[in-house]
């Protein structure tokens, strides 16, 4: 049977943005982007292997049908689409990549299942909470937060641990990144003042 090659895990070791990062902030984001681009290129190989396996399985199906004299159609395998059509790519590089952004500007719930980027422009005090936080996989949620001087309460996020033990003291606009790692109950947060 066809072997499906799996991309190496995304390695973000040492790429957490911390308070005070200036030049390293850009370097870390560039390295993160490079890691995601490498993963997306490898993922195209995986998709191609999966397509080859599907074609191979269809061949086994056809052989089995001939042996037992079956003349019907297995609708779940009929007309199997080329899996690579679901990713925009050019020459093996994923293009047109985007992340789902939640722009409900005053919603206090950061829903990991609905988006992985949020934008909040506060018009009053807010008490943040999270929903659909994954347990068995790692995930990230980026929040572009403009407080407009309004207070922010983070106590509704269970297991929240701030980088260097420094809870965000909001500025005009901050970038807050929440990282949840597979098998770890805590959510780790780091922040960077933008304005």
Q: What share of the chain has pLDDT > 70, as a percent?
A: 81
More confident residue, 119 or 1: 119
Contacts 24+ apart (CB under 8 A), 139-142: 139/112, 139/179, 139/180, 140/116, 140/177, 140/178, 140/179, 140/180, 141/110, 141/112, 141/115, 141/116, 141/117, 141/177, 141/178, 141/180, 142/99, 142/116, 142/117, 142/118, 142/175, 142/176, 142/177, 142/178
Categorize the per-residue pLDDT at 66 as very low, low, confident or very high, splitting at 50, 70 and 90.
confident
Categorize the per-residue pLDDT at 97 as very low, low, confident or very high, splitting at 50, 70 and 90.
low
Asked if the model's pLDDT at residue 77 lies above 60, the reply is no
Question: CA 40 to CA 38: how far, in whole Å?
Answer: 5
Tokens matching residue 76: 């779940």
Q: What is the DSSP letter of 21?
A: -
Distance of alpha carbon 8 from the chain centroid: 16
Comparing CA positions, the residue from 147, 144, 150, 156 lying closest to residue 192 is: 144
Categorize the per-residue pLDDT at 85 as very low, low, confident or very high, splitting at 50, 70 and 90.
low
Lowest mean pLDDT among 61-75, 111-125, 178-192: 61-75
SS3 content of the chain, % helix, strand, coil (to 5): 25, 25, 45
What is the β-pairing status of strands 152-156 and 160-162? unpaired
Q: Measuring CA to CA, how many Å separate 9 from each of 3, 6, 28, 162?
A: 18, 9, 17, 25
Average pLDDT over every residue of 174-188:
92
Asked if the model's pLDDT at residue 107 lies above 70, the reply is yes
Q: What digits encode the pLDDT tens for the residues 27-39? A: 777 788 888 888 8
Which pTM value belongs to this model? 0.54
pLDDT of residue 76: 56
Q: What digits encode the pLDDT tens for the residues 113-159? A: 888 888 998 888 999 999 999 888 888 999 999 988 899 999 999 99
């Amino acid at each position: 049977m066809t072997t499906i090659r799996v991309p190496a895990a995304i390695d973000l070791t040492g790429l957490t943005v911390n308070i005070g990062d200036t030049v390293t902030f850009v370097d870390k984001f560039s390295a993160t982007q490079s890691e995601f681009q490498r993963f997306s290129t490898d993922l195209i190989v995986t998709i191609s292997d999966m397509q080859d396996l599907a074609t191979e399985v269809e061949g086994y199906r056809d052989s089995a049908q001939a042996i037992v004299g079956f003349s019907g159609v297995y609708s779940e395998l009929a007309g199997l689409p080329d899996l690579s059509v679901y990713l925009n790519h050019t020459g093996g590089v994923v293009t047109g990549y985007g992340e789902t952004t939640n722009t409900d500007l005053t919603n206090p719930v950061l829903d990991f299942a609905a988006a992985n980027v949020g934008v909040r422009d506060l018009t009053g005090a807010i008490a943040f909470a999270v929903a659909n936080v994954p347990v068995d996989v790692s995930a990230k949620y980026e929040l572009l937060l403009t407080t407009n001087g309004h207070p922010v309460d983070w106590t509704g996020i269970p297991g929240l641990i701030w980088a260097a033990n420094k809870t965000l003291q909001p500025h005009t606009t901050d970038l807050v990144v929440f990282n949840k790692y597979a098998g770890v109950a805590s959510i780790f947060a780091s922040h960077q003042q933008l304005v």
